[in-house]
Structure 1
Amino acid sequence: MANLSPTVPDVSPRVDRTSDRPQEACGVYGVLAPGLDVANLTYFGLYALQHRGQESAGIAVFQGEQVRLHKEMGLVSQVFDRDILARLPGDLAVGHTRYSTTGSSHVCNAQPVVLMTRLGPMAMAHNGNLVNTVELGRAMAERGRSSVSSTDSELIAMLIQEAVDGGAGWPEALTRAASCCRGAYSLGIGTPAGLFALRDPHGIRPLVFGRLADMEQDGWTISSETCGLDIVGAEFHDTVAPGEMIWFRPGAREPDRRRWCEATPRLCVFEMIYFARPDSNFFEESLYSYRRRLGTILAEESPAEADLVIGVPDSGIPAAIGFADGSGVPYAEGLVKNRYVGRTFIQPSQGMREAGIRLKLNPLPDVLANQRIVVVDDSIVRGSTSRKIVKALREAGACEVHMRISSPPVKHPCYYGIDTDTQDQLVAARLPLERICRHLGVDSLAYLSQEGMLRATRQQDYPFCTACFDGQYPIPPNKEPGASKLRLESGQGPPS
């Protein structure tokens, strides 16, 4: 039987959907390392992936046929402590840190999802978003199966459970379930037979794996990003290919790799622009290097006469340094970020937000006074945060503010695991450039071209997913009336 920790009351605040930053779905982590403290390794891995989701965290640990699970709302450091980790012994662990896209913000939707099967327990962590959630939910309901949560992740786990209980082994069950899913899904799955990693045919969300060094027997780690390998000293081995399933078995020197589906790779380019950490590697280089090139190309395309270049911390800084390199205008730190502000339990009131409470960013008047400023950021979604930043820069004494964005205008919603707005709330979809410029209160505004964004990747033949910029969706979204863009409304999970 699965030994599950008691469900705790959901005392955390609702996620702030008014944020002007795109939000990632989640981070996936897994460890197979007999003889090591896999719960602690997974804790540190999730800590490295905290930027991918600050809403809930969970770890499931296998000890033979038994699985222990602990998950709660909150940051990784709030959910786990030494005592909790000490109660999670085992040789295999699967971890998850979440931001809700499909499914509301409640502890029942936290992951990993743990289900019992004919072959023993299964724990699954999912990054991404399905576009056929409603269809799958209805099919499950017609077969008399009901879900506990309101997430597409549980539906994937239920499909695997159904295949196993119908007589399939683990590899067949995983690929059979995956073939029913449309959308983005990078999965980490723990079973008594070992650890599995699986990626959707297009590989929209990232997933990598590495070998734990200095061990008498082989240990393996899977992670949404390479920074999750670095933190535990794992050596990067390879990327889980789009449409690939990898089986890490206890005692095996090498994993069993098989391609279960062939399709055109379509990695989300926003992972490279914003979501992933700058110290994570994509295409054999750090994203810091890529983001700096974005700024250099932006300076070539849209120069500005100015005295200083500043970046919006933290994600806009590499591009700002690149812009300074490309333009010859000096780089300076003009905005200071309070790095201890995260998902706090005491939230300012809406009135305080509207009054401009500076929880996260504060300008430096002695740097900005009487200066012509180029402020570089990675993206604009609604425009509300950018407008407040511009206002603060002018109040600090900047005589001109020119905004440069190191990505093209976001004009289309994402259906694959990014919580962007519906199209009528995306400022670049509603307003022409001149009106956005007036709305933000800047002297000039320019975005990086899509050609420049792709040229900076140095992957000339790689077909990235750029749907949020150009509306070219690799997987057609569900257009059924009443179906939410990204998540089922609170209290309206898949039909049961």
Structure 2
Amino acid sequence: MREMPPSHPFDDDKLREECGVFGVTGVAEAANFVALGLHALQHRGQEAGGIVSYCPEEGFNSARRFGYVRDNFTKASLMGTLPGSIGIGHVRYSTAGSKGNTAIRDVQPFFGEFSMGGAAIAHNGNITNAAALRAELIDRGSIFQSSSDSECIIHLMARSLQRNIPERMKDALRRVEGAFSVVAMTRTKLIGVRDPLGVRPLVLGKIGDGWALSSETCALDIIGAEFVREIAPGEMVVISAEHGVESFRPFEPSPSRFCIFEHVYFSRPDSILGGRSVYETRRQIGVELAREAPVEADIVCPVPDSGTPAAIGFSHESGIPYGMGIIRNQYMGRTFIEPTEQIRNMGVRLKLNVNRALIAGKRVILVDDSVVRGTTSRKIKEMILDAGAKEVHFRIASPPTAWPCFYGVDTPEREKLLASHMTESEMRDYLAVDSLRFISLDGLYRAVGEAGGRDSTCPQYCDACFSGDYPVAPRDMIEKGFRLKAAE
């Protein structure tokens, strides 16, 4: 029986990035570096992880496990089975496939044996035409081993007539729609690719004589690698000892539409995105929010941990003191892997506790990164009032989340998103707070460095979860009945 991470029963009101990818080449014991990188990317996926490595004596070796990296890939007995100087890895939180009921065969990286040798791939994102591709491939004789959309890439590569694996990968990815950042490996090459819109992140690092590819720069830091640059939207890099880093452009050029929610929540605050500190961007979101939605209060409190930088910015701009009014229990851990119903009913109190001495008698501004279903926000409000607060004001560091994401983020169906059927004032009444304000979409764009705000004729980011403007039509979901904004 597999052991699942403990967070899900108590943190079901957040959008979750579904995975992170990491790879290294040209280093001794590459799998150990991959494990460290995945540990730094654990926030991107806590359900399962996998590593593939290669050495000439033993060929390709892999390990896939459920649970946290720290609990699986720190064991010498396991890491000793993954020798070699090249390796890739993946941490997963399922979006496509069987949510919450993942089989080990769904855990990446996926591996394929081709006539010119083996290749493994790890994919961050979501293929929006996966159902159509899967049906076509099965009709032509492909036998799928998983429920993951990512496996389509391996089968498309197998059907390509190109003579080497990078060219087969180009062929395959030209058939794919949606969002993808891929890290792949052959016996001698490390490969990284981003989709033409650059929706999901991918960065390049240098470590000694070797190289690393990662979803975020924070994973380069943990292995002591130097951040070199971001992989550009639509770019493929092929890294080998013979040729170093080679860059290719296999797709038609498109305007970049990087996921703006990476700035708001997904990425770690110590990462760099687009040349900007994620922490500084989130602090600036708080500054913009204070300018757009001022309110008289006594204290600004973050909803930990993701609301902290924005709360600091809000406090600085408003002049209202900052305080840790809510304390996070960092050690909930394994005690609650299988919580009883009585424990479940305690809800967020297992994870968060109010600092009563700081809150009592005060008008409190709570700064959070988002409101999804609203269930957690209501519980937090009740905790603050129970602690003796006079007033509770919510300030949200993102616009209302009114649309689901189909590009690699786990979101509820649209009808379960509070903002899909409620106005801001209706949400305020539903949450029963004294006031509720979200940052505007223009304000969010200003905070990430777009001084003129959002260009509605050509948005600079993917903001579909806020605007309903999908840069790539989610074909599979449309065929299942999903209605785009223009069709409403």
Shorter-chain TM range is: over 0.9
Alpha-carbon distance between aligned partners in 1 of 2:335 and 2:179, rounded to the nearest angstrom:
30
1:118 maps onto 2:111 in alignment:
no
Alpha-carbon distance between aligned partners in 1 of 2:70 and 2:423, rounded to the nearest angstrom:
43
1:133 maps onto 2:130 in alignment:
yes
Change in CA separation of 1:11 and 1:317 when aligned onto 2, cut-off 3 Å: closer
The 5 A counterparts of 1:184-199 are 184-199=179-194
Residue 41 of structure 1 is matched in structure 2 by 33
Secondary structure, counterpart of 2:461 in structure 1:
coil
Residue identity in the other structure for 1:30? G
**1:237-291 deviation digits (Å, cap 9, x = unpaired):** 1111111100000243x30001111111110000011000000001222100000
Residue 107 (structure 1) shift: 1.5
Residue 206 of structure 1 is matched in structure 2 by 201
Of the candidates 84, 106, 118, which is equivalent to residue 90 of structure 1?
84
Residue 160 (structure 1) shift: 1.7
Secondary structure, counterpart of 1:446 in structure 2:
strand
Residue 276 of structure 1 is matched in structure 2 by 267
Secondary structure, counterpart of 1:188 in structure 2:
strand
Alpha-carbon distance between aligned partners in 2 of 1:333 and 1:92, rounded to the nearest angstrom:
44
**1:365-422 deviation digits (Å, cap 9, x = unpaired):** 0010001000000100000011111111111111110000011000111000111111
| Residue correspondences, number | 469
Alpha-carbon distance between aligned partners in 2 of 1:245 and 1:176, rounded to the nearest angstrom:
12
Residue 148 (structure 1) shift: 0.6
Secondary structure, counterpart of 1:152 in structure 2:
coil
Residue 149 of structure 2 is matched in structure 1 by 152
Residue 186 (structure 1) shift: 0.3
Alpha-carbon distance between aligned partners in 1 of 2:178 and 2:147, rounded to the nearest angstrom:
17
Secondary structure, counterpart of 1:57 in structure 2:
strand
Of the candidates 226, 233, 256, which is equivalent to residue 246 of structure 2?
256
Residue 3 of structure 1 is matched in structure 2 by none
Alpha-carbon distance between aligned partners in 2 of 1:285 and 1:365, rounded to the nearest angstrom:
36
Residue 24 of structure 2 is matched in structure 1 by 31
Residue 431 (structure 1) shift: 1.4
Change in CA separation of 1:454 and 1:135 when aligned onto 2, cut-off 3 Å: same
Alpha-carbon distance between aligned partners in 1 of 2:315 and 2:4, rounded to the nearest angstrom:
41
Residue 172 (structure 1) shift: 1.2
Residue identity in the other structure for 1:133? A
Cα RMSD between the aligned structures? Answer: 1.9
1:464 maps onto 2:461 in alignment:
yes
Residue 441 (structure 1) shift: 2.0
Of the candidates 45, 50, 55, which is equivalent to residue 42 of structure 2?
50
Residue 193 (structure 1) shift: 3.1
Secondary structure, counterpart of 2:82 in structure 1:
coil
Residue 356 (structure 1) shift: 3.5
Alpha-carbon distance between aligned partners in 1 of 2:117 and 2:335, rounded to the nearest angstrom:
38
Alpha-carbon distance between aligned partners in 1 of 2:333 and 2:19, rounded to the nearest angstrom:
16
Alpha-carbon distance between aligned partners in 2 of 1:129 and 1:85, rounded to the nearest angstrom:
29
Change in CA separation of 1:112 and 1:343 when aligned onto 2, cut-off 3 Å: farther
Would the aligned equivalents of 2:6 and 2:334 in 1 still touch at CA under 8 Å? Answer: no
With normalisation by structure 2, the TM-score equals: 0.92
Residue 100 of structure 1 is matched in structure 2 by 94
Residue 91 (structure 1) shift: 1.0
The 5 A counterparts of 1:4-83 are 10-12=2-4, 16=8, 19-34=12-27, 36-64=28-56, 66-80=59-73, 81-83=75-77
Secondary structure, counterpart of 2:87 in structure 1:
strand
1:181 maps onto 2:176 in alignment:
yes
Residue 153 (structure 1) shift: 0.8
Residue 321 of structure 1 is matched in structure 2 by 312
Identity of aligned residues (%): 43
The 5 A counterparts of 1:469-484 are 469-478=466-475, 479-482=477-480
Q: Which moves more between the two structures, 12-21 or 353-362?
A: 12-21
In the alignment, structure 2 segments of 5+ residues that lack a partner are: 484-488
Alpha-carbon distance between aligned partners in 1 of 2:211 and 2:283, rounded to the nearest angstrom:
32
Change in CA separation of 1:113 and 1:483 when aligned onto 2, cut-off 3 Å: farther
Residue 421 of structure 1 is matched in structure 2 by 412
Alpha-carbon distance between aligned partners in 1 of 2:262 and 2:192, rounded to the nearest angstrom:
19
Residue identity in the other structure for 1:288? Y
